[in-house]
Chains A and B, each alone.
Chain A
Amino acid sequence: MTTSPKTDPLLGLAAAQTVGPFFQIGFEALYQNDLTVPGLKGRLVTIRGQVFDSGRLPVPDAVLEIWQANSFGKYAHPEDQQDKPLDLGFAGFGRCPTDAEGRFGFRTVKPGPVPSSTETPQAPHINVSIFMRGLLDRLVTRIYFIDEDSNRTDEILNLIDPTRLPTLLARPIPDEADAYLWNIVLQGHDETVFLDF
């Protein structure tokens, strides 16, 4: 990555620290696992999963934040200059703590394709940050949908070791319409691919 020289020195970044075990006190006011609003366009989906540690034990004290575009592939953000419609009231942000079994879930709309730095738009995806006791810094990853053909040409998925790529793919839950399963494995066999940007 190229950084242009600056005449003034940069200010020093604030370092990350763990959320610890008591984040509920500060985060609960913005817990939101249903992102849908009346009149929201697109296919409504449920995404559920569990967070596991290295011993495959569920993590009961994690919190997930998601950020996503709407069904047209438009982010509710001033720097998204695409000529696409917004959905009134759809912010695209969710925050959900895990329960005693490490479970989380979001009700949302399947996002549309968003621009990439290649000639092919990115496949539909949801951006995820994970915080918990034991993580001095957050982990970030993405949820993709296994039944999406455009995954093959996705700029980001093409950077990932094909043997590990399935960890980013949410799979339909049998006998439950529009529901997907997507687990997070922090360490070990089937460890989720975590990203840095």
Chain B
Amino acid sequence: MKNMTVFPVRRFRSPAPGIHPPHLYPGYVSSVKRAPSHALVSIPQTLSEVTGPGFQRHQLKVGADLTAQGHGEPSGQRILLSGRVLDEDGKPIRNTLVEIWQANAAGRYYHAVDQHDAPLDPNFIGNGQLLTDDEGRYQFKTIRPGAYPWRNHPNAWRPAHIHFSLFGPAISTRLVTQMYFPGDPLLPFDPIYNGIRDEAARQRLIARFDWDTTVPEHALGFTFDIVLRGRLETPMENRL
């Protein structure tokens, strides 16, 4: 037998059923031709799954202030969007990349494919990047996005949302999600939001209005904490 070295692989917990939406969700019409028909094949987490890309400050090309991308202030309600990125055990996920993108206040994306008849804003692109701090905190300054129509079903409107992309420590923790606003009357009708079966998991994607981060005379504060997969207690051994 070869002389082998043993490496601990610090595996992640599996998500409880009902938290992540299924790939096939017929209410979301474009899932029908794109969702796999076979079941996913479960594999053990190896070194490949418990590692993942890390990013450094010099790689970031976009700031965390989405209101400062043009020559003037964008239209709309200025907001401060703050929160922490944590694992399931409440440990902060430090120095991890957060990317966001969103529509402008009128509900129009700065994108060639978006043909919605609402005005573009010359002072708003709608993208942001940052790395979380040592407590896992992040803060973006932006404007509150508008709702917009889409063609999923007759008179379909997406609730106002901000797209979030997170990495965490490994490809196992990679997550793309959307943040919604409290009290949005469109939420009960949105097939993307309602693709999440677990009621508590749906509620967790709604930011909360926060007086503590609201800046007098300037911007409303919203808080949105994001929890990524935590570790199992016992590592698995990998060998080479």
Decide yes or no whether A132 CB sits under 8 A from chain B.
Answer: yes
Contacts of A147 in B (CB 8 A): none
Contacts of B208 in A (CB 8 A): none
**Secondary structure class of chain A's binding surface, majority of residues:** loop
Once the chains are docked, how many angstroms separate the CA of A192 from the CA of B170? Answer: 23
B130 → chain A closest CB, angstroms: 12
Query: Are B201 and A186 neighbours in the complex by a CB distance under 8 Å?
Result: no
Interface residues of A, count at CB 8 A:
86
Query: Are B113 and A14 neighbours in the complex by a CB distance under 8 Å?
Result: no
Contacts of B7 in A (CB 8 A): 81-82, 115
Query: Are B43 and A195 neighbours in the complex by a CB distance under 8 Å?
Result: yes
Contacts of A27 in B (CB 8 A): 99, 101, 165
Decide yes or no whether B59 CB sits under 8 A from chain A.
Answer: yes
Contacts of B51 in A (CB 8 A): 67, 75, 77, 79-80
Once the chains are docked, how many angstroms separate the CA of A137 from the CA of B52? Answer: 18
**Residues of B near any A CB (own CB < 8 A):** 1-2, 4-5, 7-11, 13-16, 19-23, 25, 28, 30-38, 40-55, 59-62, 86-90, 99-103, 109-111, 113-114, 125-129, 163, 165-166, 169-172, 174-178, 192-193, 195-196, 198, 200-202, 204-205, 226-230, 232-234, 236-240
8 new A-B contacts, CB < 8 A, other than A30-B99, A127-B48, A160-B41, are A15-B202, A17-B205, A18-B176, A29-B99, A79-B47, A137-B23, A187-B37, A197-B44
Q: Could you jot down 26 A-B contacts, CB within 8 Å?
A: A3-B13, A11-B90, A13-B15, A13-B228, A16-B175, A16-B177, A17-B176, A19-B163, A21-B111, A26-B128, A27-B101, A76-B54, A77-B54, A82-B7, A114-B46, A116-B239, A117-B44, A117-B239, A119-B239, A127-B49, A127-B171, A131-B176, A142-B48, A159-B43, A188-B37, A197-B44
